């Protein structure tokens, strides 16, 4: 029997496994603006108006997630970020 963490990772990485269980998986790569909105207010003051590449670099440095993953099962929706 799979542990919860293993089960979630299997669903994320194996579309056939998810489909067999009736779970739809939706992935969305976040824009730098969406990632920036996730930052805490004290971090937002530390960024200057630079290029997208520099802003993404800073967001990576702050370990702001790059994508949203959504699991949909019947009427239940679970979202998390990585």
| CA 30 – CA 66 distance, rounded (Å) | 6
Task: Report whether 13 contacts 40 (CB < 8 A).
Answer: no
pLDDT digit string, tens, across residues 3-61: 888 988 999 999 999 999 999 999 999 998 898 888 875 566 666 666 778 888 888 98
**Tokens, residue 32:** 């730098």
- Range with the poorest average pLDDT among 4-8, 46-50, 62-66, 76-80: 46-50
Residues 46 and 71 in one domain: no
Residues 21 and 11 in one domain: yes
Residues 1 and 25 in one domain: yes
- pLDDT for 1 equals 65
Domain count, the chain: 2
Residues 25 and 49 in one domain: no
- pLDDT for 53 equals 81
Strand boundaries in 8-73, DSSP class E: 23-29, 67-73
Residues 23 and 48 in one domain: no
Q: What is the pTM of this model?
A: 0.74
Residues 60 and 78 in one domain: no
Q: Which domain holds residue 23?
A: 1-29+67-82
């Amino acid at each position: 029997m799979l542990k919860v963490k293993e089960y979630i990772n299997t669903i994320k990485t194996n579309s056939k496994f998810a489909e067999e269980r009736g779970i739809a998986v939706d992935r969305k790569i976040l824009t730098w603006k969406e990632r920036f909105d996730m930052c805490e207010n004290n971090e937002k003051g530390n960024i200057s108006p630079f290029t997208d590449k520099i802003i993404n670099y800073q967001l990576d440095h702050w370990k702001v997630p790059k994508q949203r993953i959504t699991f949909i099962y019947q009427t239940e929706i679970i979202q998390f970020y990585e």
